[in-house]
Amino acid sequence: MSQLHTLSLVHPSHVAFPASRVKPTCFDLRRLPLRECRLTLPLLPPRVRSLPAVRCCSAPAPSDRKARTGMTNYLEVELKVRDHELDQQGVVNNAMYATYLQMGRQELLESIGISADSVARTGDALALADLCLKFIAPLRSGDRFVVKVRMPRVTSARIYVDHLIVKLPSQELIMEATTTGVWLDKDYRPVRIPAEFKSKFAQFIMDHEDSSYKFFATRTN
């Protein structure tokens, strides 16, 4: 039996040898008889698949919210709740709010001189890439409300729109929402906004940057 005792490795950097035979700082594992060595590897923690990141919509600060409920730089579309828009609890169904917001954006685009039909004739399309809603209070049958819409920023490929839904005549804030629109080509791939339309967006933002504007459109049956 060799005088070299059993070797225990907890980690490659921790190896125990008799001090009389081998210096701790210099050794060659290839010269050791494998039958007299015992190797203990550390247990690795189980691999955990990372979860997808979730983006949350944060409410604005109270002071900011007060400013945003004003009429500065917002286009306004006045609407009324219909019975078929309610759910079993007697309040407006959550899905209907996306329709209200879309109606506001449509009026905003038409006031700029852009319509979905004019975009479609070029072979392109406008689509939503992001929709963030914050529900604050419900609407019920017969409630009158106004959808306030503004366009704070347009980049080379994206259109950012802010929305507010305010109940009338109490001016109670019902919802806050933001959307991001993208320009798609005929293959439904995001592309840069054509110069013809980009100039209209830029001119609109410039005209209303420092002044308030209103546009009223009442929905009919």
The residue ranges of every structural domain in the chain are 7-39, 63-208
pLDDT one digit per residue (tens) for the chain, 221 residues = 444 444 444 444 454 545 445 455 555 555 555 555 555 555 555 554 443 433 444 444 333 444 344 445 789 999 999 999 999 999 999 999 999 999 999 999 998 988 888 888 888 998 999 999 999 999 999 999 999 999 988 998 899 999 999 999 999 999 999 999 999 998 889 999 988 888 888 888 888 765 443 333 334 33
Residue 154 has phi, psi (to 5 degrees) of -135, 125
Contact 116/54 with Cβ under 8 angstroms?
A: no
Query: Of how many residues is the chain composed?
Result: 221
The residues assigned a catalytic role are 87
Residue 148 burial by CB count (10 A; 0-12/13-18/19+): exposed, middle or buried? buried
Q: Are 112 and 118 in contact (CB under 8 A)?
A: no
What pLDDT, on a 0 to 100 scale, did the predictor assign at position 73?
76
CA dihedral (9, 12, 16, 21) positive or negative: positive
- Distant-in-sequence, close-in-space partners of 155: CB < 8 Å, separation ≥ 6: none
Instruction: Quote the DSSP letter at residue 68.
Output: H
How is residue 189 written in tokens?
């791939």
**Which CATH superfamily hosts domain 63-208?**
Hotdog Thioesterase (3.10.129.10)
Distance, CA of 200 to CA of 95 (rounded, Å): 31
Q: Are 146 and 77 in contact (CB under 8 A)?
A: yes
